Structure 1
Amino acid sequence: MVLTPNLSSDFVTLFVTIGPIDTAAVFAGLTAATSGRERQGLARRSVLISGAVMILFGLLGGLVLSLLHVTLAAFRVAGGALLFLQALTLTFASPGLSSINDSERREAQGLDDMAVFPLAFPLIAGPGSLSAMVLLVGRATTLAAQAAVFASLLACLLLTYGAMRIAGPLMRWLGKTGADVVGRISGVLLAALAVQFVFDGLRQAAL
């Protein structure tokens, strides 16, 4: 049963911006020296924390924009541009906006608990995925459409948790080439969705 015509684009947008495969790759590197039980706990806590943050952004994003006197049309253009930038980095196999740099990676290695930083933020709940939540909820005009956005988020978080749980075998199976192929395909899809957000924002602003 299709809840909303935007259900597929909701899921694809969140799947690409969260990036379960990319998240699993970074997770595997950061937790290589930890035990299986510790990795399981880190994966669970990071997904729960990032999920709570993204739900809050989805629920309160519109209110924050109104308090800042920023129209949804303007945010659609800005958010679309941000997602397009992430799409370019994915397409050309570069670290995305939700990735972590070398200094953050070294800092994370010295932390007792990496669940909040860098796993929950910015790896899972990064600028791209948080912007996507505000855009998708803002686009949803009915309760069914809003429910579809949060259902898509739940599905993507479950996939991310699953990918993190099998990060080692998954990375060995995909290899560097396989991960790059997934990233490039995701980048192309995200680019099209990002441009559509920009078009929607410009159309709304012109009305």
Structure 2
Amino acid sequence: MDINFKEILTATMILFAVIDVIGNVPIIIDLRKKIGKLESEKASIVACVIMIAFLFLGKSILNLIGIDVNSFAVAGSLILFFLALEMILGISLYKEDSTNPVTASVFPLAFPLIAGPGSLTSILSLRAEFSAVNIGIAIVINIIFMYIVLKTSEKIEGFIGETGINIIRKVFGVILLAISVKLFTTNIQGLFS
């Protein structure tokens, strides 16, 4: 096991920016108002299982369909780029508006809101550079944080306020934009070498 705290910290920050739990607090509150109660434990466990499974099986799935990790990372960097633009500009390029009260804790909360295209792409992109064990720890740290936010979402919104949430969202959007550019430049070189 090659535990590297710098890798864990970097992977944690990348996933935190992509999952954007703080930025999703208004969506979580709206969902809670529509269905009454969210099962925070269920949503956290399902999201964690999806992300860990993708960490270990994602590369095999790509190999099965004939795509290398560098190509996927470049494609992923473009998705992260557009997610960052959404966060910075306050626009919505992807919107999932169907909610089923029975399964809302799993869909859309665990997937695609938390373990969605952005986080799964990030996991595979990180896998091209970091050790799986460090990414796994980063996933668990994010899931624990996400669980805390889900449990206390209404208190957080009351404390930070709408303006605070918007500022945090834009700051993490800029961080995510820089990360997407780095992922793109690193992996595009790998495609041509």
Provide TM-score, normalisation by structure 2: 0.91
Residues 96 and 160 of structure 1: is their aligned pair in 2 closer, same or farther, counting only changes over 3 Å?
farther
Q: Does 1:193 align with 2:179?
A: yes
Kindly indicate whether the alpha-carbon contact (under 8 Å) linking 2:74 and 2:188 is maintained by their aligned counterparts in 1: yes
Q: Percent identity at matched positions?
A: 24
Q: Does 1:50 align with 2:47?
A: yes
Kindly indicate whether the alpha-carbon contact (under 8 Å) linking 2:19 and 2:114 is maintained by their aligned counterparts in 1: yes
Consecutive unaligned residues of structure 2, counting only runs of 5 or more, are none
| TM superposition shift of 1:4 | 4.9
| TM superposition shift of 1:47 | 0.9
Partner residue of 1:137? 127
Partner residue of 1:89? 86
Kindly indicate whether the alpha-carbon contact (under 8 Å) linking 1:90 and 1:187 is maintained by their aligned counterparts in 2: yes
Partner residue of 2:14? 13
| TM superposition shift of 1:33 | 6.2
RMSD, aligned CA? 1.8
Give the distance between the partners of 2:35 and 2:80, measured in 1 at CA: 33
Give the distance between the partners of 1:96 and 1:174, measured in 2 at CA: 26
Residues 4 and 159 of structure 1: is their aligned pair in 2 closer, same or farther, counting only changes over 3 Å?
closer
Give the distance between the partners of 2:84 and 2:174, measured in 1 at CA: 7
In structure 2, which of residues 139, 147, 156 is the aligned counterpart of residue 153 of structure 1?
A: 139
In structure 2, which of residues 142, 146, 164 is the aligned counterpart of residue 178 of structure 1?
A: 164
Residues 33 and 203 of structure 1: is their aligned pair in 2 closer, same or farther, counting only changes over 3 Å?
closer
Kindly indicate whether the alpha-carbon contact (under 8 Å) linking 2:23 and 2:166 is maintained by their aligned counterparts in 1: no
| TM superposition shift of 1:17 | 1.0
| TM superposition shift of 1:88 | 0.6
Residues 169 and 95 of structure 1: is their aligned pair in 2 closer, same or farther, counting only changes over 3 Å?
farther
1:134-187 CA deviation, whole Å, 9 max, x = no partner?
A: 1112322xxxx3211111111111111101111111011111111110110001
Q: Does 1:66 align with 2:63?
A: yes
The count of corresponding residues between Structure 1 and Structure 2 is 191
1:49-85 CA deviation, whole Å, 9 max, x = no partner?
A: 0110111111111111111111111111111111011
1:178-205 CA deviation, whole Å, 9 max, x = no partner?
A: 1110110001101111111111111111
In structure 1, which of residues 37, 51, 76 is the aligned counterpart of residue 73 of structure 2?
A: 76
Provide TM-score, normalisation by structure 1: 0.85
Give the distance between the partners of 2:161 and 2:108, measured in 1 at CA: 23
Consecutive unaligned residues of structure 1, counting only runs of 5 or more, are none
